[in-house]
Amino acid sequence: MEANEHVHCLIIGSGPAGYTAAIYAARADLKPVLYQGLQPGGQLTETTDVDNFPGYPEGVSGPEMMIHLQKQAERFDTDVRTGWVTKVDFSGPKHYVEIDNGKHVVSADSVIISTGASAKWLGLESEIRLRDAGGGVSACAVCDGFFYRGQDVAIVGAGDTAAEEATYLAKLCRKVYMIVRKDHMRASKAMQHRVMNTENIEVLFNHETQEVLGAEGVEGALIKNNQTGEETTLDVTGFFVAIGHKPNTDIFKGWLDMDETGYIINKAGTAQTNVPGVFVSGDAADNVYRQAVTAAGTGCMAALDAERYLAAMAD
């Protein structure tokens, strides 16, 4: 792979992790170049209200917060570019990154991966429409559960994450319907017991969502028993999807160590990957917390690790 240009620090991805890494890298005079990727701003651009990020006492919309982060990174002369990474070569001391299917190739002394993860959705037209409109469909109970305090909500999923989010919602909401496609849950026994012992959670086994009801906001959910065919309408104002996330890391397969799901493995307590000079931050490596504030924290770690790595290389 032949490069068109060489940079000191290349950041891939433009969520809270990527922009925080850029702020720290730029202030350390690493002259970072950041490629925004297919979804500039990351998952937060799909979030209407962010109330749990420090420094916003009145809350902020997800897209607005990402604009703030981008402006802050650019204030310190981060070179923010449109484009997405389609191929990498991490075989040598210089790291090569192909942009937009070969239209441009950058070599870099250090690379910070902040490509994030994407929530899996059911794929219903009504679900996606209401999600995009900020109308009560969410893939993060910890982020958005607060807005449904005292209301009735539904959550789809059967694994540990769904069980954990259902019990979290149960503390805030009057009633939580847990929609499970099969006749059993995949969650660990401990998590299943927690769900079953929570009074205001009702588990609906053998049920699938047919439609999320409502024009501008969630007004209910039409579900169907896949054994009897009987349809039921749940009177809910919030609809949560917890069927998993997929890390956006496919292009790094074969180069970086990953777990079985595709999350990049970092060395404990650092942002380092198995390749010297390549660092990871945010949801590309985090399948546990998945919060904007934790992503930002690991973006800071990645930039500091990159700065130390480059300083050692220069000695």
- Active-site residues, by number, are 140, 143-144
As given in the structure block, the two tokens for residue 112 are 């910070």
Compute the C-alpha angle 86/111/37, nearest 5°.
40
As given in the structure block, the two tokens for residue 252 are 């790094």
Kindly provide the residue ranges of all beta strands, DSSP E only, lying in the chain, ordered along the sequence. Answer: 5-12, 33-35, 49-50, 60-61, 79-81, 85-89, 95-99, 104-113, 117-119, 137-138, 152-156, 175-179, 201-204, 207-213, 220-225, 231-234, 238-241, 245-247, 278-280
Under 8 Å between Cβ of 41 and 63: yes
Burial of 117 (0-12, 13-18, 19+ CB in 10 A): buried
3-state secondary structure 256-301: CCECCCCCECCCCCCCECCCCCEEECHHHCCCCCCCHHHHHHHHHH
DSSP class of residue 45? G
As given in the structure block, the two tokens for residue 299 are 């973006």
